[in-house]
Amino acid sequence: DAGVIQSPRHEVTEMGQEVTLRCKPISGHDYLFWYRQTMMRGLELLIYFNNNVPIDDSGMPEDRFSAKMPNASFSTLKIQPSEPRDSAVYFCACRSGGQSDTQYFGPGTRLTVL
Amino acid sequence: GQNIDQPTEMTATEGAIVQINCTYQTSGFNGLFWYQQHAGEAPTFLSYNVLDGLEEKGRFSSFLSRSKGYSYLLLKELQMKDSASYLCAARTGANNLFFGTGTRLTVIP
């Protein structure tokens, strides 16, 4: 298995532009999570899906952020319009069912908004 | 609210033992995870405790005391490759992981 795949790995954009981050989870893992990591705040959960349905989006910072999961093998996190304070590393993670099952993280997308 | 405290940085010598502490205050606590994260890489799973006590896995062990809101990660026979950040995370509810900001461990020769 290739593990969790994220693209792009690096993104540099200008303030006001739309940014779309992509994630392909491990096959058969029906939970998908989006996290943001910064030096100041550490790793923060933004939103998670179960069987393609958004379950908890309370961590999404504001309306500029949106996430979708149109099928079991693909999810997107979109920021529109982007701002410099959105600069961070965005991780996608997934897990299968069960209470003790760990989350497997993708390599992350390093976003820089100028 | 939710809070996790762990030291920001630690330094230890190759071959030694180091203990990284974590205290947490969360609602709906449902287990404690430790992840390792090398610079520029994704976090990777190390251990999971849901019951009080010590879980040993090779050179790494993790301890949990639910009544004290306290956990530690013990690394034995330190190697240079153990230099990384170690993230403590509390599971709240069924799926939410609340992470601390991590402890950056530097192993010196």
pLDDT in tens, A37-60: 998 889 999 999 999 999 999 999
Nearest beta carbon to residue A43 from set B87, B95, B96 = B87
What is the secondary structure of chain A as a DSSP string? ----EEE-SEEEE-TT--EEEEEEPPTT--EEEEEEEETTTEEEEEEEEETTEEEE-TT--STTEEEEEEETTEEEEEESS--GGG-EEEEEEEE-SSSSPPPEE---EEEEE-
CB distance B45–A100 less than 8 Å? no
Chain B closest-CA separation from residue A28 CA (Å): 17
B87 CB within 8 Å of a chain A CB: yes
Nearest beta carbon to residue B42 from set A42, A99, A107 = A107
* Cα–Cα distance, B18 to B76 (Å, whole number): 7
How does pLDDT run across A57-96, given as a tens digit for each residue?
Answer: 999 988 999 999 999 999 999 999 999 999 999 999 999 8
* Cα–Cα distance, B63 to B97 (Å, whole number): 18
